[in-house]
Amino acid sequence: MNKQIKISTVLVTLVSAFLVYASFVLGNSEDYLFPRLISSMIAVLSLMLWFEKGDADKSTNFKDLMPGIAIATAFILLLKILGFYLASMIVFFSLVMYYSKPSESKDFWRVLLIKLGITIVFTMTLYGLFTLLLQVRTPEGLF
């Protein structure tokens, strides 16, 4: 691993360790079940970085990441206005449309409908997970 990758791996590991610590130390255990699951998964993924065998000269093109970061920022800013589910649906669809491979023009509408269907299933899954299963109050907005 080169020096930049080592530094970023150490930083990600430290942040994930802090998240796990905070989720287990703070608050009621019943209220922190979901943050514990998420922080533990982040910790496992960050530990996997230590064993990754990749190209040493391979680097990330941050120009490709900027639209995703902008969409994520818009999601955070619009969360209370639009609500969790509508904002999640719009963000998921935007990310899928931006980062997917362009399709041929004759199949455009079919591909668009498939992506929209996947977006709806994703949103319904979020609703089932957070509202029905975990019974978590999500930010409410227009709906």
Average per-residue pLDDT for the chain: 79
Q: Per the domain annotation, does 98 fall within a domain? A: yes
Q: Per the domain annotation, does 93 fall within a domain? A: yes
Q: Per the domain annotation, does 88 fall within a domain? A: yes
CA–CA separation, 89 and 3 (whole Å): 38
Q: Per the domain annotation, does 57 fall within a domain? A: no
Q: Are residues 41 and 90 in the same domain?
A: no
pLDDT at 56 over 60: no
Q: Are residues 27 and 78 in the same domain?
A: no
In terms of average pLDDT, the best of 63-67, 105-109, 122-126 is 122-126
3-state secondary structure of 130: helix
In order of 17, 31, 54, 90, the CA distances from 47 in angstroms are 10, 26, 15, 32
Q: Are residues 76 and 117 in the same domain?
A: yes
Query: Residue 57: which pLDDT band, with cuts at 50, 70 and 90?
Result: low
Q: Per the domain annotation, does 143 fall within a domain? A: no
In terms of average pLDDT, the best of 9-13, 65-69, 86-90 is 86-90
Nearest Cα to 123, choosing from 111, 131, 134, 113? Answer: 131
- Residue 26 structural domain: 3-49
Query: Residue 60: which pLDDT band, with cuts at 50, 70 and 90?
Result: low
Percent of the chain as helix, strand, coil, to the nearest 5: 75, 0, 25
In order of 8, 19, 59, 107, 112, the CA distances from 12 in angstroms are 6, 11, 17, 41, 36
Q: Are residues 66 and 127 in the same domain?
A: yes
Q: Are residues 67 and 107 in the same domain?
A: yes
- Count structural domains, the chain: 2
Helices (H), 55-107: 62-82, 84-99
Q: Per the domain annotation, does 32 fall within a domain? A: yes
Cα four-point dihedral sign 99, 101, 107, 108: positive
Residue 122, pLDDT score: 92
Q: Are residues 73 and 128 in the same domain?
A: yes
Residue 104 vs residue 91, higher pLDDT: 91
Q: Per the domain annotation, does 141 fall within a domain? A: no
Phi, psi dihedrals of residue 54, rounded to the nearest 5°: -125, 180
